[in-house]
Amino acid sequence: MLEVTPKNSSATSGFVPKGKISFEDFLVEYDGQFAEWIDGEVFLDMSASDRHQDLVSFLSSILRCYVEENDLGVIRTAPLVMKMQKTERGREPDLLFVSKKNLDRLKKNYLDGAADLVIEIISPESRGRDRGDKFYEYEKEGVKEYWLIDYERKQAEFYNPDKKGIYQLSTPDENNIFHSRAVKNLNLNVEWLWQKKLPTLLEVLRDWKLI
């Protein structure tokens, strides 16, 4: 997720001090904007770094091709709010995957319930939030897989819920390939994420033997 300022921040740094509004009013007033709805209050997102945008674009393009080729569902990127049912939160992940069986959750301008996969690209300003509030919110809501990608630290974390719904760290294999549980048969080479020049879409598709 792009940088969202904590609640106690000033109006110039992300928080919109307009008082609480309903989720329905939020959708109308902030449709198409990079914003989140937290306990009835609105938080606008700050600008993202070039590397952040590069990673979002890279992951979006390769995952969209994979998902569409295998007829698994849809990939969406921000701005699209995920309205969580168990908390008064409307989060806006960097990327999310919704499987075919859950496509009824995808409404005109928001996702009504949990995505199957949520991906957040971590920045220094969002590190605590992505590993804190969002981690527990996504866990509680039932997001089946949560990726945290910290490009400055060259660290990728992948979480899946256990039988009790508690997130457990899922590690890549000995070749640093992560095998997704939420996206059927998807194998991600983690080393791709740290390359100065990210692989091209064609290179990835060849590696996946889709072309």
Q: Pick from 174, 177, 173: which is nearest to 204 by CA?
A: 177
pTM of the model: 0.84
Mean pLDDT score, 181-205: 97
Average pLDDT, the chain: 88
Task: Identify whether 2 is part of a domain.
Answer: no
- Highest-scoring range by mean pLDDT, 6-10, 61-65, 75-79, 124-128: 61-65
Task: Identify whether 13 is part of a domain.
Answer: no
pLDDT given for residue 88 in this prediction: 80
Number of independent structural domains in the chain:
1
- Residue 156 identity (one-letter amino acid): A
Residue 12 has pLDDT above 60, yes or no: no
Task: Identify whether 117 is part of a domain.
Answer: yes
Mean pLDDT score, 50-63: 95
191 by DSSP, 3-state: which?
Answer: helix
Q: Give the CATH number of the domain where residue 105 resides.
A: 3.90.1570.10
Task: Identify whether 132 is part of a domain.
Answer: yes
Task: Identify whether 107 is part of a domain.
Answer: yes
Torsion sign (Cα): 113, 94, 186, 146: negative
Q: How many CB atoms lie within 10 A of CB 161?
A: 17
What tokens were used for 50? 């070039």
Residue 29 φ then ψ, to 5°: -75, -30
What proportion of the chain, given as a percentage, has pLDDT over 90? 66
pLDDT given for residue 81 in this prediction: 94
Task: Identify whether 14 is part of a domain.
Answer: no
Residue 19 has pLDDT above 80, yes or no: no
Residue 179 has pLDDT above 50, yes or no: yes
Sorted by sequence, the CB contacts under 8 Å of residue 151 that are 6+ apart come out as 51, 52, 55, 121, 122, 193, 194
pLDDT given for residue 15 in this prediction: 55
Residue-range definition of the domain harbouring residue 93: 48-207
Torsion sign (Cα): 73, 75, 81, 85: positive
Mean pLDDT score, 22-39: 84
- Using CA atoms, how far apart are residues 57 and 60, in angstroms rounded to an integer? 5
Task: Identify whether 55 is part of a domain.
Answer: yes
Task: Identify whether 53 is part of a domain.
Answer: yes
- Using CA atoms, how far apart are residues 166 and 158, in angstroms rounded to an integer? 13
Mean pLDDT score, 41-66: 88
